[in-house]
Structures are given as C-alpha cells and as structure tokens.
C-alpha cells in the first residue's frame, strides 16, 4: 500500500494592514500658517488656534486627554470668538471646538468632526481653500478610520495643486477603505489618484489607477462610479492618441450613464471636442448644437457656442458659424468676464480663421491673447498669438471657394444630441 503523504498544517495568520501616513501641511513655514493669510485679523487667529487644538486632541489617546490643554484656554478662545465676531453659521460650527480645550472629554469625535466639516465647507464656499483643507484634515484626524474623510482631503489638496499632499491622502484612503470594506471610498480614491496623475501628465499611471477604479466599481455594482471611470479612461485614450479605444470607451460611458444623467453634458462635450480635434467636424457640430441649447449658465453656454462656431466652420457650415459666433460674442460682452473667456475667444478665432474671415479671427484672437496675458495662461496666449499672426498675414486674401459636401452625423453623435435634447435645459 502506498504511504500517505502528510502535509504540514496551514498556518492562518491575520493580515495586518499598514496605513500610510499623510501630509498635514505643504510648503507653508508652519502648520496652519496659510489660514492666517486667508482669514483676516482675529478670525484668522481664532481658526488657526482651533484647528491646531483639534489636531492635538485627535492625535492624543482618549485616556490621555485629561489636562491636555492649559487652564483658561477655553476662556481665551471665547474671548477670541467675541473679538472675531464670526457670522452666525460659522459661530455655530465653531462652538464645539471652542469648548474642546475646557473639557476635552465633553464631546465625541463625531461631534468634533461635524464641527470641522461645517467649518471646512464654510471656508471652501468663500474660496479659502487652505482653511478648508485644514479643517477637512481635522475631520480625518479625529476619525482616523474614516476613508471618506481622507479622500475628501485629497480632493481639496488636488484642487489647490498640492499634489504631494493629495497623493498621500488618496493612498491613505485606499488603505483605510480596503480595511473597512468601504468600497465607495476605495473606488473614489483610485479615481482621485488617476486624475492626479492625469494632471501631472503621466498618462500610463493615470490609466492604471482608473482601471483599478473601474474594476472596483464593477465588482461592487457602483453604477455612477463605473460610468465615471469609463469617462476618465476615454479622456486618457483620447490624449494618448488612441482613437479606436477612445470611441469604444465613450460609447460604454454613455450606455452606463444613461440619457438623463447629470454628467452626460460633460461626456458629450468631451467627446465632441475629441471629434473636432480629429477633424470630424460634422459629428462635433451635432453635439455642440444640442449642448448650446441645453446649457443655461452663461459661461457654460458660451463655451458650447464657441465650440459650435469652430465645429461649424470646420464642417463648412457658414450659416451655423455666423449664428453661433454672434450669440457667443454678444454674450461675452453682456456680463462680467469668466475664467474661460480666453479659451472661448480662442475657439471663435480658430473658427473664423478656418472660414477665411480674417477680420473676425483677428478681433477674437486679440481678445484671447489679452485675456490670457492678464490671467497668466501661457498656452492660450501662445495659441491666440499664432492665430493672430496668421490672420494678419492673410488679411485681404480672399479665400478660394471650395464647396465641401458635409458628412451626415454618425449614430453615436445623434444619440448624444437626442439624449441632451430630451433632458431639457440645465
């Protein structure tokens, strides 16, 4: 009889995850210094002291918090509150943080986190991004296992172009989410990393992170994030000059979003720009026509109209170009300038140049170059100056009439246009 082989027993061990630390400050000379730059006078001093107290409280074990703060600290903060006289919404948010120094055990981490979150949202609404980040970090510090809180810090830091800090918080969110089974935060954190690397111009790394986000979204039936990951992968394929992959991913994102989704106009605009950059002007024109009718916010409508003018010019549709140009130019002159004025004027200039309308091309390119110079937008300024130079050299030259048979829009372009029209104005 054959001897039975004995195998050693399998040793089961509990896997121990290591959560990476995250950066609490960037290039400022000391933690919280940028709050003092953003918030004027006593209010800045109050916010600075409160958030530093929150960090200290959150990083101290609960059984060691007794006697953590010097006697009378809460009275000093109350005096600062009176001097700062914050508006009622902020004052209500800060009260739990003011009393924290007087009674460190009085409130739960959840109460302190809620106060920090309210303060962060208040600051963000006023454009005080450094202050918003500081108080969102307060949420993450007092709720150290909350993956969503870490992800939120990463998003704010990325918006402020603090890429190193953003990456540490996104990676922390991935680790925490994996440990807790928070698959929404897990998927979001990989998407955050993908968008961060896209901003840095590292397309292969961006693609890897978005693929991980896509797989997690599919595995856990997170439909909206599934569509968002496909959308992001489309953008990467388009920038990587992979038109077939880009088209496939765009169609897939459209299918998952569905006709009424709030993100559909963004996908439609991205796809139409991709078609326009690849010379498929008729496809782009059909979508931008629907987008221009869909958008109600002036700046968004101007972007759609400027793109429509350029696409119509490329398609040889002079009538549609004239209508879009007139509406966009009139709208630009009718209200205070937006952050997109330079690129809107540049698209109008490019459209006019394609049709040989050198006077309009020169006028729009001059405006685009001036706005871009004022805003420090070097790429837009260089592109506008190139169009301006071309328009000046060709001034007086009559363009040759070359009738061009327009190509009918493809089914995907019509599907996008119909979905936008069915959704009504936004």
pLDDT tens track for 236-266: 999 999 999 999 999 999 999 998 899 999 9
Does residue 5 have a pLDDT over 50? no
Summarize the confidence of residues 53-68 as an average pLDDT: 90
- For residue 11, what pLDDT is reported? 45
pLDDT (tens digit, 9 = 90+) per residue, 203-225?
999 999 999 999 999 999 999 99
Measured in degrees and rounded to the nearest 5, phi and psi for residue 359 equal -65, -45
pLDDT class of 287 with cuts at 50, 70, 90: very high
Q: How far, CA to CA in Å, does 167 sit from each of 20, 132, 140, 162, 194?
A: 11, 17, 15, 9, 10
Copy the structure tokens of residue 79: 């005096």
* Tokens 């949420």, located at residue: 139
Domain locations along the chain:
22-144, 158-257, 280-396+406-426
φ, ψ of residue 278 to 5 degrees: the values are -105, 15
- pLDDT at position 14: 45
Given a cut of 50, whether residue 1 has pLDDT beyond it is no
Nearest CA to 261 out of 298, 292, 294 is that of 294
* pLDDT surpasses 60 at 337: yes
Confidence of residue 16 (pLDDT cuts 50, 70, 90): low
Highest mean pLDDT among 78-82, 194-198, 370-374: 194-198
Q: Which CATH code for domain 280-396+406-426?
A: 1.25.40
| pLDDT of 138 higher than 80 | yes
Mean pLDDT of 395-422: 76
Distance CA 418, CA 254 (A): 12
Q: What is the DSSP string of 88-116?
A: HHHHHHHHHHHTTTT-TTSS-HHHHHHHH
Radius of gyration of the chain (CA): 27
Reported as a pLDDT band with limits 50, 70 and 90, residue 410 is confident
Length of the chain as a residue count: 426
The whole-chain average pLDDT of the chain stands at 89
Beta carbons of 272 and 311 less than 8 angstroms apart: yes
Outline where 201-258 has alpha helix (H). 203-219, 223-239, 243-257
Per-residue pLDDT of 109-134, as tens digits, reads 999 999 999 999 999 999 999 999 99
Q: Is the pLDDT of residue 333 over 90?
A: no
Check for a shared fold between 158-257 and 280-396+406-426: yes
In 3D space, the residue among 109, 114, 106 whose CA is nearest the CA of residue 66 turns out to be: 106
223: tokens are: 């439909």
Helix (H) and strand (E) counts for the chain? 20, 0
Q: Quick one: average pLDDT of 299-327? A: 95
Q: What is the pLDDT of residues 394-408, one digit of tens each?
A: 876 665 555 555 677
Helical ranges in 39-145 per DSSP H: 41-58, 73-84, 88-98, 109-125, 129-142
CB atoms within 10 A of CB 36: 18
Banded pLDDT at 380 (limits 50, 70, 90): very high
Residue 21 confidence (pLDDT): 81
Tokens 């856990």: give the residue: 220
Q: Are 391 and 361 in contact (CB under 8 A)?
A: yes
**Cβ–Cβ < 8 Å for 314, 281:** yes
Dihedral sign, CA of 225, 229, 235, 236?
positive
Predicted local confidence at residue 195, as pLDDT: 95
Which of the two residues, 150 and 333, has the higher pLDDT score?
150
Average pLDDT of the residues in 196-201: 92
SS3 257: helix
The CATH classification of domain 158-257, taken from the options 3.40.50.20, 1.25.40.10, 3.30.70.100, 3.30.160.270: 1.25.40.10
Query: Which residue is associated with the tokens 């363009």?
Result: 399
Instruction: Indicate the pLDDT class of residue 30, thresholds 50, 70 and 90.
Output: confident
pLDDT at residue 405 in the model: 59
pTM of the model: 0.84
* Residue 7 pLDDT greater than 50, yes or no: no
């Amino acid at each position: 009889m054959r001897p039975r082989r004995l195998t050693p027993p399998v040793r089961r061990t509990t896997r121990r995850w290591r959560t990476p630390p995250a950066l609490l400050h960037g290039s400022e000379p000391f933690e919280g210094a940028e709050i003092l730059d953003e918030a004027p006078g006593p209010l800045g001093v109050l916010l600075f002291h409160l958030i530093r107290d929150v960090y200290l409280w959150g990083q101290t074990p609960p059984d060691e918090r007794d006697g953590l703060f010097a006697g009378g600290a809460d009275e000093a903060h109350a005096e600062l509150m009176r001097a700062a006289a914050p508006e009622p919404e902020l004052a209500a948010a800060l009260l739990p943080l003011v009393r924290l120094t007087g009674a460190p055990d009085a409130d739960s981490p959840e109460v302190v986190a809620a106060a920090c979150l309210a303060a962060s949202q208040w600051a963000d609404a006023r454009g005080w991004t450094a202050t918003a980040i500081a108080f969102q970090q307060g949420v993450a510090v007092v709720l150290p296992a909350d993956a969503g809180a870490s992800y939120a810090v990463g998003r704010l830091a990325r918006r402020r172009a603090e890429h190193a800090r953003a990456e540490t918080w996104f990676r922390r969110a991935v680790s925490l989410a994996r440990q807790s089974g928070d698959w929404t935060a897990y998927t979001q954190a990989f998407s955050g990393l993908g968008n961060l690397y896209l901003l840095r111009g590292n397309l292969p790394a961006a693609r890897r992170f978005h693929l991980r986000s896509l797989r997690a979204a599919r595995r856990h039936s997170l439909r909206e994030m599934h569509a968002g990951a496909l959308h992001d992968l489309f953008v990467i394929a388009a920038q990587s000059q992979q038109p077939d992959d880009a088209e496939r991913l765009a169609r897939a994102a459209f299918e998952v979003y569905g006709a009424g989704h709030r993100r559909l106009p963004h996908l439609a605009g991205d796809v139409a720009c991709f078609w326009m950059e690849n010379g498929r002007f008729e496809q782009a024109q059909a979508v931008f026509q629907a987008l221009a009718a869909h958008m109600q916010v002036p700046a968004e409508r101007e972007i759609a109209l400027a793109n429509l003018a350029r696409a119509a010019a490329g398609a040889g549709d002079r009538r549609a170009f004239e209508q879009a140009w007139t509406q966009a130019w009139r709208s630009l002159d009718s209200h205070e300038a937006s952050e997109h004025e330079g690129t809107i004027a540049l698209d109008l200039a490019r459209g006019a140049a394609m049709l040989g309308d050198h006077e309009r091309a020169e006028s729009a390119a001059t405006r685009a170059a001036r706005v871009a110079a004022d805003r420090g937008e070097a790429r837009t300024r260089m592109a506008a100056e190139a169009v301006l130079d071309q328009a000046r050299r060709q001034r007086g030259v009559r363009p040759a009439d070359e009738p061009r048979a327009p190509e009918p829009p493809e089914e995907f372009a019509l599907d996008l246009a119909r979905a936008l029209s069915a959704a009504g104005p936004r």
